[in-house]
Chain A
Amino acid sequence: MKDFLWLIPTLPFLGACILIISGNANLPRRAVSIVGCGSVGAAAILTIVIMIDFLTTGQIPEYTVIVNWFSVDNLSVPIALHLDTLSLVFVFVITFVGFLIHVYSIEFMHHDESFARFFAYLNLFVSAMLMLVLADSLILMYLGWEGVGLCSYLLIGFWYEEEKNGYAARKAFIITRIGDTALAVGLFMLFAELGTLRIQDILTLAPQQWATGSTTPVTICLLLLGGAVGKSAQFPLQTWLPDAMAGPSPVSALIHAATMVTAGVYLIARMNGLYVLAPQAQLWVGIVGAITLLIAGCSALTQYDLKRVLAYSTISQIGYMFLALGIGAWSSAVFHFMIHAFFKALLFLAAGAVIMALHHEHDMFKMGGLRKQMPAVFATFLIGSASLAALPLISAGFYSKDQIIWLSFASQQSNIWFFLAAVVGAFITAIYTFRMVFLTFYGEAKTSVSHMPGNLITQPLVILAVLALFAGFIELPHTFGHVTLFSDLFSTTLPPVTLRPNVESHEWIIQTSTGLLTLVGIAMAYYFYVIQPKIADDIHASTIETHRFWYAGWRFDSLYDAIIVKPILFFARVNKHDFIDKLYSALVELSEMMSALFSRSQNGILRWYIMGIVAGAVIIITFTLIITP
């Protein structure tokens, strides 16, 4: 299968090229859909073939060189891919979920004028993301990393005629850029220290070079964490993601839920060998995750906009993944990533269908009663919500999240605060998830349904719903079933988690109690938003300050505005006529002057030219005669 690996990122890239070159006007919509979905679909099929090949034979293509860009002396720049089980899981999610979202988009974007542009961006995004996870060296990964950043910018601002969309796009781009800078500095340090940026070489060289806990790997790991925090919208760089909902719903599903924002998770999981050497940095990964999952969960409780609830829930769930990475539960983080991709894509797509049906109404308090009007969407949304809230036993989300909660108790590297954060987070998740379900689908209908989703929208929803229900069964806890199909995949790629001694017996207690907490949370949501909506209003009225604070995302935007944006703008105003600029303008003026001066020598007079040659000859001969060897 090695020979076809290069096609996986190349096919979507070709699709993007075709669509960009042909433009909006030259291809009929049907052809655009075929190119757009076909390229990603073909990549998905190839991935599945490789997976089957792997599952039957245990063989996986590890390393292939696509093309050797150039080599000069001992510097060679190959474009090479590395596929192991970790990247395989990511590739599978990107191509498969990506394909479903592409299919959904055919109907969702059907009336949009820039149909081809949309698919071109989506294809470009998929190819960049595949490059990111398949890259053999960190340089190539960085290419994909910036590529997805670019596509995210393009897609958030897809409806660029509206000013606020452009603002959201720029915000996302600039804030992730802060993280990217940290990442770039981290890469420079790695190269300066180890002399290579090939991931596999780094992972073998690092333990030989550094002792566990020494400063260099800790610094590098913290810088990489900075990159991951920016891309994955974690505390303190989480503020761009809720605004990113300005893009079309399929974009939110693909980029801001299923794939791109998990790039940070991938980066840390990929560099696991470094983090093992830097326990302090790894602890910070966990701390970031714990803080993020709590503050994002609280904000999600107070939102009115359906998509913003989902945005905050995404931040919170990625917080869980970071927490898992921080406690050394590597494979649990990847497992939660996969399940999260299924149910969050499902939720965003279903939300998109709801919003489309209600004339682009985003406010949940103006929805309601959709249970009967849109039964298919309701059923799938309910399944997605159950998975997000980790409804015990029957949802996939339960198995992935439960594993993280359990390990946050049992892992050697964890502590009681991580465990508490995880449990409280699970409770909050249950409340806000079902608050959203009840507000949107129960109660009286407040807005009429204008447009019923067609097959191209419902079929992807159904497929994702099946996955959101059953995908969890490939990894069951010790207490019942004890299936480890998923974590077995990583026996060679990711280190196993070390448990504290004698904790196995507590596992069922923790599972039962978190399960009960979830149920209590759902019941509370039901009570407040269906049975006694007045109580919810009362609570809202009495805690109006907290509510506002959480609604505004803990006012991080205002904080950054006050301590960063304003001072910079102030300095920019003060230093408008930058004296350093004088240096450059002087250079420009000097060049112009020289140019005027020199061009007088080009006067077209032959004798002058001959003079030039003679003068040159005199100089040269003098030169050679005086400075003889």
Chain B
Amino acid sequence: MNRSDLYSLTPLLILSSAAILNFFSISIKRNHKVIFAITVLSLIGDFIFLTSYSLYHQQHIDPLLVVDGFGIFNIGLILLTTLVVALMSYAYFEQREERKEEYYILLILAALGACIMVISKHFVSFFLGLEVLSVSLYSLIAYLRTRERSDEAGIKYLILAAFSSAFLLFGMSLIYATTGKMDFGGIGYYLTTTQDIPLIMMAGLGMLIVGAGFKLGVVPFHMWTPDVYEGAPTPVTAFIATVSKGGMIALLVRFFNAINGYQYESFTNLFTVLSIASMFVGNILALRQTNLKRILAYSSISHIGYLLVAFLSGGSMGAQATTFYLVAYFITTLGAFGIIATLSDQHRDAELIDDYRGLLWRRPLTAVAFSAMLLSLAGIPLTAGFIAKFYVITAGIGTQHWLLVFCLVVNSVIGLYYYIKIIAVMFDQKLQIKSAKELHPLVYVISSVTIAVLAVFLFWLGVSPEGMLSLIDDVI
């Protein structure tokens, strides 16, 4: 490792140092404000440092990592998302009894794991990143341990994630056994030079898909999603829905491009089946659900299904559509969970649809912002979600994936039902008098400003996506 390698890795080093700084700070004196400030400032600082890289930056840190435009873009996305999660966490945890400080350490470490994933080009770094992320998530999910569902969700996630990691590891070893390689490039080279691919290799790739599919929550590996989404503290749910899934998607894009997986019909067929199943199962399960966090969990299953349509289109168009979809989905999901977090009180999260009855008349701005987020999830024009979906469909049609595009359109209709239902509930005239004990209003300012900024981005991307599109175009 030389000096320029170190320069390229600085964003990760900043994250690690922030975690250590938080350790020190906690051991001296517990103070929520100080920890929060350290976390936020280091995330912002890290992002600013990241912008100093050129978009065409390309640094191979052999054999494990590669820091290129795509990686930098995704690291930036992860940092900003983590920042938003941290910002919405302050008000959420401030009103709770538990010790709040270690939460931020875990959050930073989870982000670090995701960052490693998006720049890795080797099984070892892939697995390292994944485990750093997962182990942090185990404790994050169960963080509010006094709450009934919290530890249940944590344990479930622990067992299932460990189980799927086993598949992942076994898949990796099978591939290593046949190819003798663990870096993506090497595996790709092996595949191009081999005419008849051994069955063991194929089985290994299949198991890899099982492991990745679990992280993404695609059908049939989706069953943990609603339970974990419901049990985890809302900011953590937002983190799982975005960073954890987005990191895996970015890794898959990199891996599939490196081994040129699109040429194997068995894999594209497999992903087609997974995508269609995810779209239908996710949307249909959400139809009769009354718990908002579970609805969003099901909705995320179907959204990953949509994303796979773009992913399957392959090529630069597919990668662009995937990345843009991720950005739009991140913004929207963060906004939605952010609003749930601000409306939650000391004892429970505002997770039932009935909690939102007549919200428009109680908190008009929040209700409007939430409606915007839901419309974006449904893909209504003028929101980022529309452009993202449009882009995905364009990519799908461009590569003749008619079945997928057809299913996507049908599912957009089904999805509309439960998104609109929530909006209708919010516009209900029957006033509900809630006597929630409110914190100091200043606490909410951070969350409100965050949500407002997200809403602005949502419309900005929906009205003039040109800037983001060309940025994505440049990094790919």
Show the binding face of A for B, using Cβ within 8 Å.
67-73, 75, 591-592, 594-596, 598-599, 601-602, 604, 606, 608-610, 612-613, 615-617, 619-621, 623-625, 627-629
Given contacts A68-B466, A72-B394, contact A595 B167 (CB under 8 A): no
What is the minimal beta-carbon distance from B469 to any residue of chain A, in angstroms? 7
- CB contacts under 8 Å to A, within B193-212, are 197, 199, 202-203, 205-207, 209-210
B156 pairs with A629, CB closer than 8 A: no
A304 to B285, CA, bound (A): 64
List chain A residues, Cβ under 8 A from B466.
68-71
Q: How far is the CB of A260 from chain B (nearest CB, A)?
A: 25
A620's partner among B210, B390, B464 (CB-CB below 8 A) is B210
**What residues of B have a CB within 8 angstroms of the CB of A615 in the complex?**
220
B270: CB under 8 A from chain A?
yes
Contact A73 B156 (CB under 8 A): no
Instruction: Give bound CA distance, A242 to B391, whole Å.
Output: 46
Enumerate chain B interface residues (CB-CB to A < 8 A): 156, 159-160, 163-164, 167, 197, 199, 202-203, 205-207, 209-210, 213-214, 219-221, 223-224, 226-227, 263-267, 269-270, 273, 281, 284-285, 287-289, 317, 387, 390-391, 394, 398, 414, 463-466, 469
Secondary structure type dominating chain B contacts: helix
Known A596-B288, A598-B281, A625-B199: A70·B223 in contact at CB below 8 Å: no
List, in ascending order, chain A residues with CB within 8 A of B159's CB: 606, 610
**In the complex where A599-B285, A620-B270 touch, is A72 in contact with B390 (Cβ < 8 A)?**
yes
Q: Is the CB of A624 within 8 A of B206?
A: yes
Contacts of A70 on B, CB cut-off 8 Å? 387, 464-466, 469
B460 to chain A, nearest CB (A): 12
Q: A624–B213 contact, CB under 8 A?
A: no
Q: Can you list 29 A-B pairs with a CB-CB distance of less than 8 A? A: A68-B464, A69-B464, A70-B387, A70-B464, A71-B469, A73-B317, A595-B285, A598-B284, A599-B285, A602-B223, A602-B285, A608-B223, A609-B160, A613-B167, A613-B214, A616-B213, A616-B220, A619-B220, A621-B206, A621-B207, A623-B206, A623-B266, A623-B270, A624-B267, A625-B199, A627-B265, A628-B202, A629-B264, A629-B265
Q: Are A610 and B163 in contact (CB under 8 A)?
A: yes
Task: List B contacts of A628 (CB < 8 A).
Answer: 197, 199, 202, 266
Q: Are B156 and A606 in contact (CB under 8 A)?
A: yes
Q: How far is it, in angstroms, between the C-alpha of A602 and the C-alpha of B289 when the chains are bound? A: 11
- Going nearest first, the 3 A-B pairs with the smallest beta carbon separation are A616-B220, A624-B206, A609-B223
What is the CA–CA distance of A69 and B281 in the complex, to the nearest angstrom?
34
Contact of A594 among B220, B266, B284 (CB under 8 A): B284
**When A624-B205, A629-B264 are in contact, do A612 and B220 touch as well, CB less than 8 Å?**
yes
Docked CA distance A2–B226 (Å)? 55
Are B288's CB and A73's CB within 8 A? Answer: no
Contact (A625, B203) CB under 8 Å given A70-B466, A71-B466: yes
The closest CB in chain B to the CB of A629 belongs to B264
Among A71, A602, A610, A625, find the residue whose CB has the most chain B CB atoms closer than 10 A.
A602
If A599-B289, A617-B210, A623-B266 are given as contacts, then 9 extra A-B residue pairs at C-beta distance below 8 Å, sorted by A number, are A73-B394, A73-B398, A595-B285, A598-B285, A606-B156, A612-B221, A613-B220, A617-B167, A624-B267
Q: How far apart sit A486 and B156, CA to CA, in the bound complex (Å)?
A: 81
Q: Are B223 and A592 in contact (CB under 8 A)?
A: no
Residues from chain A with a CB closer than 8 A to the CB of B289 are: 599
Please give, as numbers and ranges, the residues of chain B lying within 8 Å of A595 by CB-CB distance: 284-285, 287-288
Distance (whole angstroms) from the CB of A379 to the closest CB of chain B: 50
Contacts of A601 in B (CB 8 A): 223
Return chain A residues, CB-CB under 8 Å to B414. 591
Evaluate contact between B202 and A625: CB separation under 8 angstroms. yes
Taking a contact as CB atoms under 8 Å apart, the answer to whether B288 and A599 are in contact is yes
Distance to closest chain A CB from B407 (angstroms): 14
- Specify which of A592, A609, A619 is in contact with B287 (CB 8 Å cutoff): A592
Residue of B nearest to A610 (CB): B163
Question: Is A602 touching B221 in the complex (CB atoms < 8 A)?
Answer: no
Contact between A616 and B285 (Cβ–Cβ < 8 Å)?
Answer: no
Residue of B nearest to A607 (CB): B159
The CA-CA distance from A596 to B269 in the complex, in Å, is 28
**Cross-chain contact A616 with B210 (CB below 8 angstroms):** yes
Q: Which residues of B contact A616 (CB under 8 A)?
A: 210, 213, 219-221
Taking the nearest CB of chain B, how far is it from the CB of A21, in angstroms? 11
B216 to chain A, nearest CB (A): 12
- Please state if A620 and B387 are interface contacts (CB–CB under 8 Å): no
What is the CB-to-nearest-CB distance from B399 to chain A, in angstroms, rounded to a whole number? 12
Chain B residues with Cβ below 8 Å from A613 are: 160, 163-164, 167, 210, 214, 220-221
Note all chain A residues with C-beta closer than 8 A to B199. Answer: 625, 628
CB contacts (< 8 Å) of B223 on chain A: these are 601-602, 608-609, 612
- Residue from B197, B226, B264, B284 within 8 A of A591 (CB atoms): B284
Query: Could you tell me the distance in whole angstroms from the C-beta of B380 to the nearest C-beta in chain A?
Result: 16
Residues of B close to A596: CB separation below 8 A: 288
**Residues of B with C-beta under 8 A to A72:** 390-391, 394
Across the interface, which residues of A come within 8 angstroms of B287, CB to CB?
Answer: 591-592, 595
Residues of B within 8 A of A629 (CB): 197, 263-266
A515 to B38, CA, bound (A): 88
CA distance A68 to B226 in the complex (A): 40
* B273 / chain A contacts, CB cutoff of 8 Å: 623
Separation in Å of the B395 CB from the closest CB of chain A? 9
With contacts A73-B394, A627-B265 known, is A604 near B227, CB below 8 A?
yes
Q: How far is the CA of A624 from the CA of B205 in the complex (A)?
A: 8
Which residue of A is nearest B219, CB measured? A616
A596 to B284, CA, bound (A): 9
**Minimum distance in angstroms from B394 CB to a CB of chain A:** 5
